[in-house]
Amino acid sequence: MTQALVATPQDTTLTTTTDPRILALVDMVLNDLQSERTKRDYRRALNDFMAWYAASGHTALSKAVVNAYKTQLQAQAMGVASINQRLSAIRKLAREAADNGLIDDRAAQGITNVVGIAQRGQRAGNWLTAAEAESLINAPDDTTLKGKRDRALLAVMVGCGLRRDELARLTRAHIQQREGRWVIVDLIGKRAKLRSVPMAAWIKSLIDTWTDAAGMGAGPVFAYVTRGPAGKVLGEVTSTQSIMRAVSKYGADIGQPELRPHDLRRTFAKLAHAAGAPLEQIRINLGHESLTTTQKYLGSELDYQSAPSDLIKLTVRMRA
């Protein structure tokens, strides 16, 4: 970051500078986040906002300025989710700036009150059927060390619904016995929220197969494995990018080249719901604040099996 915003505590006049206080402020914003991906996205959002602020010649950080920036993003036809994430990063920056005396509380409150853009409708999303989920988990070559790791990794994603950054941070200490069954205990998720996730015996079995073969002790469940038949386990934790690549690779192997980690989280919700799991329990497992969010994962409003299109019976001549 080459430019930043500075204000005196007495007013909200801002200038562009490389003041180390603001660089430290951005770090405070990022350090409060759990997900490495979110950290990366917030850093980009703040860099872009500061560059726009400097180029636009603004001298005071205020609600009006942030609303002007929102209008600019909309004019660029940026997606609703992207705009809302950028606004969230700016709100967080404003709160930190106020806490550190760089802008006054009134200005910070105004920026906090900038509303995001309402998402109309909902994305269809993507998920696997039960048969496809089985094929995915069985796709890695379990005669290799990497294949054993990847089978366990995919099993936890499909069977427990973890986010990929949660998977990367999963440790042996998280997996404990509760009431005679295995549970991922006190997992720190989005917004630093703690939750525990029950784990089916078959998932624990695949984890044990991998960790026994790799000689894993205490610490992260999933470590980095070098490629090749004689793969070696390195001390590095599996990165979220490695998880993304693994899902994409095995997704392509089963005819789903666009498969992404979040699709497996959605698959967990869909398969659990289809098998009769209560919606509230699925919500708790996923760590959603709202039941509405869980319902969006399930696509509850749209019935793919009995669609209106199927009920329209017409005789149509088909040409070869």
259 & 214 share domain:
yes
270 & 146 share domain:
yes
In a domain, 317, yes or no: no
254 & 169 share domain:
yes
Q: How many CB atoms lie within 10 A of CB 13?
A: 12
The predicted structure's pLDDT at residue 37: 78
The predicted structure's pLDDT at residue 32: 80
Cα torsion 87, 91, 97, 102 to 10°: value is 70
154 & 289 share domain:
yes
**How many domains would you assign to the chain?**
2
**What are phi and psi for residue 103, nearest 5 degrees?**
-140, 160
183 & 257 share domain:
yes
The predicted structure's pLDDT at residue 185: 94
CATH number of the domain that residue 224 is part of: 1.10.443.10
**Cα within 13 Å of Cα(204), Cβ side:** 14
Domain that holds residue 141: 130-298
Domain finish residue from 53, 85, 112: 112
270 & 147 share domain:
yes
Give the whole-angstrom CA distance, residue 182 versus residue 196: 10
Which parts of the chain sit beneath pLDDT 70? 1-22, 119-125, 229, 299-311, 315, 318, 320
Give the whole-angstrom CA distance, residue 106 versus residue 10: 12
106 & 160 share domain:
no
In a domain, 11, yes or no: yes
249 & 143 share domain:
yes
30 contacts 43 by C-beta, under 8 angstroms: yes
Q: Taking the model in full, what pTM does it have?
A: 0.65
The predicted structure's pLDDT at residue 8: 45
The predicted structure's pLDDT at residue 146: 92
> What DSSP designation does 124 have?
-
